[in-house]
Amino acid sequence: MAASVSSSSHLNKTVRQHYMSLPQRDKCLVTYIWIDGTGEGLRNKTRTLDREPKGIADIPEWNFDGSSTSQSDRKDSDLYLIPVCMFRDPFTLDPNKLVLCEVLTCDRKPAAKNHRASCNQVMEKVKDYDLWFGMEQEYTLLGLDGRPFSWPSNGYPEAQGPYYCAVGANKSYGRDIMECHYKACLYAGVKIYGTNAEVMPSQWEFQVGTCQGIEIGDHLWVARFLLHRVCEDFGVVASLDPKPMAGDWNGAGCHTNVSTNQMREDNGLDYITEAIDKLSKRHPEHIRLYDPHEGRDNIRRLTGQHETANINTFTHGVAHRGSSIRIPRETFDQKKGYFEDRRPSANCDPYSVIEVIATTCLLDSEVKQESK
């Protein structure tokens, strides 16, 4: 993050309104969104269609220069953008669209960091279980100077305690972002479930869900795009780093809530216990897939402090927020419901997370066979 901020970096946003209200003469803007070669960054570019697409099939494939996104080399740099999920555009408004894309190479194989393709195959295999997911995206607002938004430039705010779900100018930092992002998600058609202020000041959470299968990944990635785009309008940055401030400050995760049809039915708790048992045997593999750097990001967050379990140990418990897997109190009492995997990092790829959860919990025997 740049340490100094240019004095010419602010545009007059009231002027913009005039142009935004000009008619579009029946044309439609479609903004293609994709995950870049870092596995964390999002890219986007826009083109004009002659009419409003009514569904994903009406949006043509496109391409981009993969050598500029760390996804291909310079000699053979064209990559394909394959539209997979369409949303309304809350920035330029109807009839304009946002479209999330998968990235394919020139021989139409999944490009680097396209984890959606393999995830989709696993979701197909387990579709009889009717998997539901909800993901809790925590994030931290930063100023362009890289410091958490509204923190003193040469010091720290009062220690953690008063900020979680707080109200008041001295306790709630950056609520505008949260509210504008929420409305943008609803307008777009992203399944946003709720939101809350987090334990560290300037840290927030929104939840996406409850979604079926691959849909959680699609909606979470677009919710992230909307967050970065809203923040851009306000001149702040949303960081998904799992531990933006070292020391006695909470990190940021992406708790993943999971259920199958069997877990949601009477005595489904038995199936939850079985899934937790399987998860306990594959902890290191899950940790490798729960951040984009094989656990090296999450190691700063999963310390055993600040409502986390230590990265090297697998634990579970009812209503226990210091464990790897938490069974919600209500699920335990009703003997049916869902479980929460608290390990994924805020910057995880949701496709990788749900792929490995589904594989471990539901395709266990198949995995063992493959590794023989």
Binding site for ligand ADP (CB under 6 A): 132-136, 193-194, 207, 209-210, 255, 257-259, 264, 337-338, 340
Residue number, 209 or 242, with CB nearest to ligand ADP: 209
Contact 106, 232 (CB under 8 A): no
- With vertex at residue 314, the alpha carbon angle to CA 258 and CA 336, rounded to the nearest 5 degrees, is 30
Residue number, 86 or 327, with CB nearest to ligand ADP: 327
Nearest CA to 287 out of 338, 343, 248, 239 is that of: 343
For the bound state, the minimum distance from the C-beta of residue 310 to Mn ion, rounded and expressed in Å, comes to: 18
- Residues numbered 300-359 forming contacts with Mn ion, rule: CB under 5 A: none
Residue number, 80 or 204, with CB nearest to ligand ADP: 204
Residue 132 near which of Mn ion, ligand ADP, none (CB within 5-8 Å, type-dependent): ligand ADP
Residue number, 198 or 355, with CB nearest to Mn ion: 198
Contact 272, 263 (CB under 8 A): yes
Nearest CA to 88 out of 218, 185, 180 is that of: 185
Residue 80 near which of ligand ADP, Mn ion, none (CB within 5-8 Å, type-dependent): none
Asked if 102 touches Mn ion (CB under 5 A), the answer is no
- Residues numbered 166-225 forming contacts with Mn ion, rule: CB under 5 A: 205
For the bound state, the minimum distance from the C-beta of residue 206 to ligand ADP, rounded and expressed in Å, comes to: 9
Report the distance separating Cα 344 and Cα 355, nearest Å.
13
344 CB-near residues (< 8 Å, 6+ apart): 135, 253, 254, 255, 256, 290, 291, 353
Residue 176's alpha-carbon distances to 87, 179, 234, in angstroms, are 23, 5, 9
Residue number, 215 or 307, with CB nearest to Mn ion: 307
Contact 203, 140 (CB under 8 A): yes
Report the distance separating Cα 52 and Cα 98, nearest Å.
12
Nearest CA to 342 out of 314, 300, 371 is that of: 314
Residue 38 near which of Mn ion, ligand ADP, none (CB within 5-8 Å, type-dependent): none
Contact 130, 261 (CB under 8 A): yes
Residue number, 136 or 241, with CB nearest to ligand ADP: 136
Residue number, 24 or 267, with CB nearest to ligand ADP: 267
Report the distance separating Cα 359 and Cα 372, nearest Å.
16
Among 255, 286, 316, 336, binds Mn ion (CB under 5 A): 255
Tokens of 194: 């709720």
Report the distance separating Cα 366 and Cα 133, nearest Å.
22
For the bound state, the minimum distance from the C-beta of residue 319 to ligand ADP, rounded and expressed in Å, comes to: 9
For residue 344, say if its preceding peptide bond is cis, omega within 30 degrees of 0: no
Residue 259 near which of ligand ADP, Mn ion, none (CB within 5-8 Å, type-dependent): ligand ADP
For the bound state, the minimum distance from the C-beta of residue 209 to Mn ion, rounded and expressed in Å, comes to: 11
Please identify, among the stretches 22-30, 127-135, 255-263, 292-300, the one whose residues bind Mn ion according to the rule CB under 5 A: 255-263
For the bound state, the minimum distance from the C-beta of residue 8 to ligand ADP, rounded and expressed in Å, comes to: 40
Residue number, 250 or 260, with CB nearest to Mn ion: 250
Report the distance separating Cα 300 and Cα 208, nearest Å.
25
Residue type, 343: R
Residue type, 57: A
Asked if 136 touches Mn ion (CB under 5 A), the answer is yes
For the bound state, the minimum distance from the C-beta of residue 258 to Mn ion, rounded and expressed in Å, comes to: 12
For the bound state, the minimum distance from the C-beta of residue 197 to Mn ion, rounded and expressed in Å, comes to: 10
Residue 260 near which of Mn ion, ligand ADP, none (CB within 5-8 Å, type-dependent): none
Residue 349 near which of ligand ADP, Mn ion, none (CB within 5-8 Å, type-dependent): none
Report the distance separating Cα 114 and Cα 39, nearest Å.
8
By the criterion CB under 5 A, which residues form the site for Mn ion?
Answer: 136, 205, 255
